[in-house]
Amino acid sequence: MKKLIVANWKENPASLKKAISLARQIEKGIVKTGKSEVVIAPPFPFLSAVGKVLKRAKLGAQNVFWEDGGAYTGEVSPSMLKNSGVEYVIIGHSERRKLGETDEMVNKKVKASLKAGLKVILCVGEPAERGLTRTSRGLTRNKKSAKNFVKKQLENDLHDIAFSLRKSALIVAYEPIWAIGSGKPDKPEDTVEMAKFIRSIAGLKAKVLYGGSVTSRNAKSFLQYKEVDGALVGGASLKAEELKKITAIANNANKAQSRI
Ligand code: PGA
């Protein structure tokens, strides 16, 4: 199975010119081996222009709305994304949930996007107070509480979505919120355990990515496992050299292990 590397640019870079230049640099660094797939997810205004630059990488969006048109100021529909060359859409990122996106909204977005034929990258992950416990030895992982949190999210976010619809187009990104942008990634062994758990709920064919402070220095420790189907990369994805290294690691990791 191909490893998937998703570049989540968030609200960056500042201009169209910079976005095109970054996309060009990233494209140059991708060696097409058939062993990995790279997705670039720029902000909405840059989608079309970045899409034109991409030949090896695929185009992704960072958000979507569930209605297919009408009086919804500021929203963008799944079919508009498809018509703009978008193949993947990130839904339910913790930074969006923090701004008020609920599981119910995430569920509608996932449903509408899958129906429109987009590949969905559904983000789940627990906050620090559910994933970490302070003990006399410092912070330790509270796996049971983290799993309960993620289970509830998945059940709500995937409510009423048939397995036939999830089968090939659902990707779940496990992103413990405390690991995002903190420079403190999860322990790869804990992510592997969580990936198996997520698959048992979301569907055995779902790809599970890891996200949270992934860099070229730690990518191998996650991607070497067959249970981890790829990475969702934030900060490091704004550096073409970093993404090039991470993609090379994904290509090599795939030589060693494949889940299916
Ligand atoms: P990070 O972000 O790699 O900067 O931690 C990951 C994400 O938010 O998707």
Q: What are the mean pLDDT values of the chain's consecutive 10-residue runs (260 residues total)? A: 95 98 96 90 98 97 97 98 98 98 98 96 95 87 95 97 86 97 96 97 92 98 97 98 96 64
Which of 11, 95, 233, 239 should be mutated for ligand 1, with most atoms under 8 A from CB?
233
- Nearest-CA residue for atom 9 of ligand 1: 234
Does the beta carbon of 235 sit less than 6 angstroms from any atom of ligand 1? yes
pLDDT of residue 190: 96
- Secondary structure of 222-237 as H, E, C letters: HHCCCCCCEEEECHHH
Does the beta carbon of 186 sit less than 6 angstroms from any atom of ligand 1? no
* Residues labelled catalytic: 93, 175
Note the pTM of the prediction, 2 decimals. 0.96
Cα of 43 to ligand 1 centre, how many Å?
15
Using the atom order of ligand 1, give the atom closest to the CA of residue 237.
Answer: 3
pLDDT of residue 257: 53
Measured CA to CA, the distance from residue 193 to residue 190 in angstroms comes to 5
Phi, psi angles (nearest 5°) of residue 255: -65, -40
Using the atom order of ligand 1, give the atom closest to the CA of residue 213.
Answer: 5
Complete DSSP assignment for the chain: --EEEEEE--S--SSHHHHHHHHHHHHHH----SSEEEEEE--GGGHHHHHHH-SSSEEEES---SSSSSS-TT---HHHHHHTT--EEEE--HHHHTTT--HHHHHHHHHHHHHTTPEEEEEE---HHHHEEEETTEEEE-HHHHHHHHHHHHHHHTTT--HHHHTTTEEEEE--GGGTTSS-PPPHHHHHHHHHHHHHHH-TT-EEEEESS--TTTHHHHHTSTT--EEEESGGGGSHHHHHHHHHHHHHHHHH----
pLDDT of residue 254: 62
Count Cβ neighbours within 10 Å for each residue of 65-85 and write b for 16 or more, e otherwise.
bbeeeeeeeeebbbbbbbeee
CA 178 to each of CA 53, 86, 131, 217: distance values in angstroms, whole numbers, following the listed order: 34, 29, 8, 19
The token pair that represents 86 in the structure block: 């978008």
Contact, 184 vs 134, CB < 8 A? Answer: no
CA 171 to each of CA 31, 52, 119, 127, 202: distance values in angstroms, whole numbers, following the listed order: 23, 25, 7, 20, 9
Residue owning tokens 């490893």: 3
Using the atom order of ligand 1, give the atom closest to the CA of residue 8.
Answer: 9
pLDDT of residue 38: 97
Does the beta carbon of 36 sit less than 6 angstroms from any atom of ligand 1? no
Q: Sign (positive/negative) of CA torsion 197, 127, 96, 58?
A: negative
Cα of 124 to ligand 1 centre, how many Å?
13
Using the atom order of ligand 1, give the atom closest to the CA of residue 185.
Answer: 5
